[in-house]
Amino acid sequence: MTGISDSFQRPINYLRISVTDRCNLRCVYCMPEEGISLMPHFDILSYEEIYTLVKAAAELGINKVRLTGGEPLVRAGVADLVKMIADIDTIKDIAMTTNGVLLAKYAADLKEAGLNRVNISLDTLKPERFQKITRCGKLGETLKGIEAANEAGLTPVKINMVVMKGANDDEVIDFARKTQKDGWNVRFIEHMPVSGVDASTTLVSVNEIKKSIEPLGKLEPAQMETGNGPAKYFKLPGANGTIGFITPVTEHFCYQCNRLRLTADGKLRLCLLNEEEIDLREPLRSGASVAELKKLMEAAIAKKPKSHHLAEGKKGNGRPMSQVGG
């Protein structure tokens, strides 16, 4: 197996899978409070179907998988899916992005099944604000989830904070302090205008974020032991943990994009911010072989766009993050 590249010579080795469009939270930047139209169960890929598609992708050179959603832990038996994927020899890294609410319950089982690590989304350390941003969540549950993930060895645990002006940007310094005091690995993410989300007044650029943590000392470049994704990592003086910056809006990283996305309803998505999708579910359900699925994926990869256009003011429209897999 030699691996596959797209038409811009970018090696493609990473698949992000949305295992469900359902979620137990309703974060203001991701889902509407109500009236969200959920996919019928029949439309959502079964675990066997996801497994078959991962197997085909692995034969093309995919060796890293991330389970996301929606909230992956609200789908029953997701550890079974982890186990199935972990049994594919050439998959070297299985990670999950989760809001952490159910992690205290499942962390040990997930580790046992073969999950390597988790990224946990957390935008505030204030209980009332947590409830406001997530519309229904309890901060304590996610904090317990973080603890459980560390105890289970789903490490390095990375904490993802979407920074929003006027909503939580005053806490950037508190999150940065956590890297010094508690060894957290924190990643600050720019708020993206996806699927009708208006980020025009809330975007906090990476430069502004860096400025607000200046009182804690000079940031020195650091290596993160896993993941060669879009984040740039640094450390503050005396910190065991790292600080990462993910800048999809102000400094896009499309030139090094190595990823594909599989939506909960079985479409291969070539870019989070581009609506083009290739349906794999229909061929799969009509009996396509792994070899035929590989051909469809290969043709799709050849069409992966060069970059998104957020910097030029274009927005990501179409499906919400929860369906595409953030």
In sequence order, which residues have a C-beta less than 8 Å from that of residue 171 and are 6 or more positions away?
Answer: 124, 125, 126, 161
Of 241-270, binders to ligand SAM (CB under 6 A) are none
Which of 17, 58, 94, 162 is close enough to bind ligand SAM by CB under 6 A?
A: 162
192, interface contact from ligand SF4, ligand SAM, none, CB < 5-8 Å by kind: ligand SAM
Q: CB 66 → ligand SAM: shortest distance, Å?
A: 9
Using the minimum distance from each CB to ligand SF4, give the nearer residue, 20 or 116.
20
Beta strands in the chain (DSSP E): 4-5, 11-12, 14-18, 64-68, 93-98, 117-121, 158-163, 185-190, 220-221, 232-235, 243-246, 259-262, 267-269, 277-279
Number of H helices, E strands in the chain: 10, 14
In sequence order, which residues have a C-beta less than 8 Å from that of residue 313 and are 6 or more positions away?
Answer: none
Q: CB 40 → ligand SAM: shortest distance, Å?
A: 20
**Could you tell me which stretch among 96-104, 208-216, 220-228, 262-270 binds ligand SAM (CB under 6 A)?**
96-104
Phi, psi of 315 (to 5 degrees): -105, 160
Which of 12, 15, 17, 30 is close enough to bind ligand SF4 by CB under 6 A?
A: 30
Q: CB 299 → ligand SAM: shortest distance, Å?
A: 27
Rounded distance between C-alpha atoms, residue 64 and residue 14, angstroms: 5
Tell me, by CB under 6 A, how many residues bind ligand SF4: 13
> How far is residue 258 CA from its own chain's centroid?
14
Which of 55, 60, 65, 71 is close enough to bind ligand SF4 by CB under 6 A?
A: 71
Structural tokens at position 324: 């595409």
Rounded distance between C-alpha atoms, residue 266 and residue 176, angstroms: 38
Of 267-326, binders to ligand SAM (CB under 6 A) are 321-322, 326
By the rule CB under 6 A, 209 interacts with ligand SAM = no
DSSP helix/strand/coil, 17? strand
**Could you tell me which stretch among 25-33, 198-206, 216-224, 242-250 binds ligand SF4 (CB under 6 A)?**
25-33
Task: Tell me which residues touch ligand SAM (CB under 6 A).
Answer: 23, 29-30, 68-69, 71, 97-99, 121, 160, 162, 189, 191-192, 194, 197, 321-322, 326
Task: Tell me which residues touch ligand SF4 (CB under 6 A).
Answer: 23, 25-27, 30-31, 69-71, 99, 121, 321-322
